[in-house]
Amino acid sequence: MNVTTRSLAPRPIDIALLASVFVVAACGLLYELAAGALASYLLGDSVLQFSTIIGTYLFAMGIGSWLSRYLERQLPAHFLRIELLVALVGGTLPAVLFVANAYVPGAFRFLLYSMVLLVGTLVGLEIPLVMRILKRNVALKDVVSQVLTFDYLGALAVSVAFPLLLVPHLGLIRTGLLFGLLNAAVGLWALWLFRYELRHLAAHAVACVAVLAVLLLGFLGADRITTFAEDKFYQDRIVFTAASPYQRIVVTHGKAGHRLYLNGNLQFAQRDEYRYHEALVHPAMAAHGGPRKVAVLGGGDGMAVREILKYPSVESITLVELDPAMTQLFSQHETLAQLNSHALSNPKVTVVNTDAFQWLQDTPEMFDVIVVDFPDPTNFAIGKLYTNSFYALLEQRLAASGYAVVQTTSPLVARRSFWTVVQTIESVGLQTMPYHAHVPSFGEWGFVIASRRPWTMPERLPAGLQFLNLPTLALLRDFPQDMARAPSEVNRLSNQVLVHTYEQEWGQVGH
């Protein structure tokens, strides 16, 4: 009867502890998501990174839960200390890893998994301690149900807020520090709740204040921490940064002019981007003869659109770019808009911010030329845009006499990856014309034209091109022996062999 009464009328201290479980669960999952996001940004292959981070974190939680059996006395004091450690280590995790990647990149992976192991172990200690503290006043069956309910609710809340609110508006570093502050606040609340049970109350209070001060200073100086790390990583002066739900966008300026980086990967350098974009656009556009309707998939920087607008026959261009932050940046930032000659503001251009795969499935339109300018297949989310399923959709949206052109990584550095894309396009019944061009910022770079009719050499190119002319265009089709066609598989949604091949080939660079 006594136990039942206590479980039906929990004390305020028990309610406070259950609220703490909600915060603790949210913070724990946040650190896990932040580690996975950083790993996928910097190491590529998001499926692999999130899988290994989640597995390591859950394993560490199991270790923490097992170690909790050895904490027998002064449970509130242990809970307070662990809470402050979680706040300090978890809250600073994104900042520490970000700086480490810039200054000691060789230690990044070791530091990443060490911090995930430590945070996971500490979080694994938290919940058993809370349950044992609550057990003093609440029946065991109610303890388990209540603690797990609040634990799962906290996880749900942060899993929704992380991609939709926190990262886009605060960035990874400030988000981590904010949740570290929440963990530290739980520690401070525990200090007040158990003030009559704690020995060395003054020492605990000093520890709480110190952790809160460190995290608050970090939160206020998060921009300086980011700049400190990025200035080292990117070398050139950073003129713009943004964190969207999809990627981190960084624009720098140096001797080579402006450079665009997405998740740390160079997308173009102002000094030689004309070579890439002329090679991407004109072999297909000029060969068509009189394209009127054109689609650009990816290419949110507007450079490909700039080249397409050099054809008077073009009546409409549909730019399909997943990230609205990219198209806003290159249409509204005056300096960057000048790089694409204000192409995104041209009345012929319609910008659609959506997933290109889904857009191809939904649109009923047919196009004379489709320019596919996605980032390289560094992870499965991008890799799906290089599969036979995607190219089958592309074929359905291509006019009978139309051409599609796909940027296709380096045939020199990633030879098998390049020919995998060619093989995959051919698997859906399209003819291919592979070619390559030298872009100093990237090295030797590859492209593939896909069509139902054979590609024919154009009779003319637009005036004013800086790189491409008809004699040069004829040479781009020649593949020397070290770039010649190699055996390859079809890249399918079910296997995504291209992502693994790409990672293997580019991972050998510099080794």
In the annotation, is 373 catalytic? yes
Residue among 90, 89, 92, 112 at smallest CA distance from 38: 112
**Position of tokens 């251009």?**
349
Nearest-angstrom CA–CA distance, 328 and 326: 5
Contact between 340 and 230 under an 8 Å Cβ cutoff? The reply is no
Residues near 478 by beta carbon (within 8 Å), at least 6 away in sequence = none
- 316-320 and 293-298 as β-strands: parallel, antiparallel, unpaired? parallel
Would you tell me how many other CB atoms lie within 10 Å of the CB of residue 107?
A: 12
Contact between 326 and 243 under an 8 Å Cβ cutoff? The reply is no
Residue among 180, 68, 456 at smallest CA distance from 188: 180
Coil/strand/helix, residue 393? helix
Nearest-angstrom CA–CA distance, 243 and 303: 21
Coil/strand/helix, residue 363? coil
Nearest-angstrom CA–CA distance, 351 and 401: 25
> Which among 151, 301, 323, 373 is annotated as catalytic?
373
Residues near 324 by beta carbon (within 8 Å), at least 6 away in sequence = 244, 353
Q: How distant, in Å, are the alpha carbons of 15, 69, 79, 506 from that of 83?
A: 18, 17, 6, 41
Nearest-angstrom CA–CA distance, 410 and 398: 25
Beta bridge partners of 252: 238, 259
Both tokens assigned to 29: 């999952």
| Cα 57 from chain centre | 20
Nearest-angstrom CA–CA distance, 41 and 45: 9
Q: Identity (one letter) of the amino acid at 106?
A: G
Residue among 283, 260, 282 at smallest CA distance from 270: 260
Both tokens assigned to 320: 């399909």
Catalytic residues: 373
